[in-house]
Structure 1
């Protein structure tokens, strides 16, 4: 089945370079790969679109925070998922140095924060309020956390500042970092069997919201400066004493030399805009359907020509 799909897809792409594109460089467009499924599949989707236009593409595994410095220096060409909550600070810092440009927002609205599956609410009925969660901390205790609750945060390189928030708000929780996104899903899946209460880092869009209905914990509302100025937020002596943005952006970024070196590809990049549902579907193809990222990208492109082909027409 994969070979047939791949052959059909390749055949369809074979005619694409006939469209009138501006001349792009023969050098490869370098696309970074991170450690969550939607970004990996989206990178392959966009990479295959660029290849259909006659461009060369190279994928490199890159730290999800350091990538903005890499883009700024031209070591990688672009970043397709700039999440406001997770990477906004790193993106802004790179912008201030110069060399990286904002190529526009996706249609998706993002949120990243502490999250629990709905069965957890039965054990802690005051949720989603963070104070109620803290009052229920013992419900989340494990052998490794003693009498304190366990919160499973994202991988260390995502810089979610769970530890700082616990300290700033005086919470009775121990923060444990997951090694990968897959470890977060495994935690929820293991808890589902006996409806064990869990609180983990989660985000939207991703496939999990369709598999495990749940809610985000409601911390003090995000205010600009909460991560930089102790005076912002309820604790005047600490940073990170508020939640992440509840309606965050999802941007695209590029090296500022991309437009002149790969004008056709840059034009298409400026038109690309994925929705929450489309991004969740990309993640599902890997996390639920267990396709390889390259195969997932092929399947998504094959099923959604009406979405991506107009980007090529408009960007060329």
Structure 2
């Protein structure tokens, strides 16, 4: 959920959804690289303790990854897990410096990958998560069914009046999540000459609440949204076709985000590890490299956390008990 992440491939979704994954949540949001010094897990001081530190991205799908990984590391492999919540780009700095051992869901940051993986070699690619992410603009299915042409961006200005809100200043509203998301949306509105204003809900959780309220009242809305996302099961939506994504547009966007005039790409989500952790992390490093599941698996756990009121640990435990045939293959020495 970022324009960096998006042009590189996705959104920076800051979810207000609570994550009760490990024993400790350390808030690092807003810390710059200059503020970060190398720091191992607080559990590492315990004699004989095996510890792992995982970065927790703030959207619920990423929280689901960490919840399940944490549960299995603690209950099946006798590790103690420390979790660190940090914004998307600073997470790369934290990983490089050894403040965290692994990021389990990255939506694509070519600039960070070049800097840390290719040049500094302080971060090592950890493999495919098994989930493909996609960002786009969406409208509710009930509205698209009544107005099929709204799913083509060229017709959006025709419907701007119906999408006007008190916050959009006389224009149609394009709802985004948090102001801290780095997205292409303002550039797209300008470059495609759309009579819309980007309005931020404040967080992923606030955006979900707003979508649910619109849907309950059967009101039209246009929102920046992404897959995988459990909310599609509750509020069916249709994507608005933006100008097709091309590598040329993506490369142009990396150099000058304000010039973007095409859709967001689909991105196979990736894991990244601190390079030293790949050498010294033992079974934990092997397990996290093997960790690979589907969009449906992630959405099941996400829905338990965000919609059904379970803690992350409770959701992970339920999924683990229901899916031993999947996770047992992740354990070292298993196939």
TM class by shorter-chain length?
A: 0.7 to 0.9
Contact 1:268 1:314 in 2 (8 A): no
CA distance in 1, matches of 2:254, 2:311: 47
Distance 2:81 2:327 in 1: 18
Q: TM-score, normalised by structure 2?
A: 0.78
Q: Establish whether residue 243 from structure 1 lines up as the match of residue 263 from structure 2.
A: yes
Distance between the aligned counterparts of 1:220 and 1:156, measured in 2? 24
SS in structure 2 at match of 1:157: coil
Alpha-carbon spacing, 1:108–1:231, altered in 2? closer, same or farther (3 Å): closer
Cα distance in structure 1, aligned partners of 2:271 and 2:237: 28
Closer, same or farther in 2 for the Cα pair 1:237/1:59, shift >3 Å? Answer: closer
Deviations 1:276-302 (A, max 9, x none): 100111111012211111211121112
Runs of 5+ in structure 2 lacking a partner?
Answer: 1-47
Of 227, 237, 245, the residue aligned with 1:214 is: 237
Within 1, Cα distance between the matches of 2:331 and 2:145?
A: 49
Change beyond 3 A, Cα 1:113–1:301: same
Structure 1 contact 107–275 (Cα < 8 Å) conserved: yes
After superposition, residues 251-270 of structure 1 pair within 5 angstroms as 251-270=270-289
Residues 216-256 of structure 1 show CA distances to partners (whole Å, capped at 9, x for unaligned) of: 22111112242442799xxx9952211111x3211111111
Task: Determine the structure 1 residue equivalent to 2:199.
Answer: 176
1:65 Cα offset (Å): 2.3
Partner of 1:19: none
Residue of structure 2 in register with 1:34 after alignment: 57
Q: Secondary structure at the match of 1:273?
A: coil
Residue number in structure 1 paired with 2:97: 73
CA distance in structure 2 between the aligned counterparts of 1:144 and 1:239, rounded to whole angstroms: 25
**Match of 2:87?**
63
Instruction: Classify 1:309/1:38 alpha carbon distance in 2 versus 1 (closer, same or farther; 3 Å).
Output: same
Structure 1 residues 213 and 230, CA gap change in structure 2 (3 angstroms): closer
Deviation at 1:55, TM superposition (A): 2.1
2:328–2:334: 8 Å Cα contact kept in structure 1?
no
Across the aligned residues of Structure 1 and Structure 2, the Cα RMSD in angstroms comes to 2.4
* Contact 2:127-2:289 within 8 A present in 1 as well: yes
For structure 1, the 5+ residue unaligned runs are 1-24
Distance in 2, Cα, partners of 1:165 & 1:110 = 20
Distance 1:206 1:92, change over 3 A: farther
Pairwise CA distance, 1:175: 0.6
Which residue matches 1:271? 290
Distance in 1, matches of 2:306 and 2:282, equals 34
For 1:282, the equivalent position in structure 2 comes to 301
Separation in 2, partners of 1:118, 1:112: 17
Does 2:117 match 1:95? Answer: yes
Q: Is 1:189 aligned to 2:208, yes or no?
A: no
1:299 maps to which of 306, 318, 324 = 318
Residues 54-203 of structure 1 correspond to what in structure 2 (within 5 A)?
Answer: 54-84=78-108, 87=109, 89-96=111-118, 97-122=120-145, 124-203=147-226
Q: Which range moves more in the overlay, 271-280 or 135-144?
A: 135-144
Secondary structure in 1 matching 2:180: helix
Q: Separation in 2 of the partners of 1:81 and 1:237?
A: 23
Q: CA deviation at 1:120?
A: 2.4
Report how many aligned residue pairs link the two structures: 286
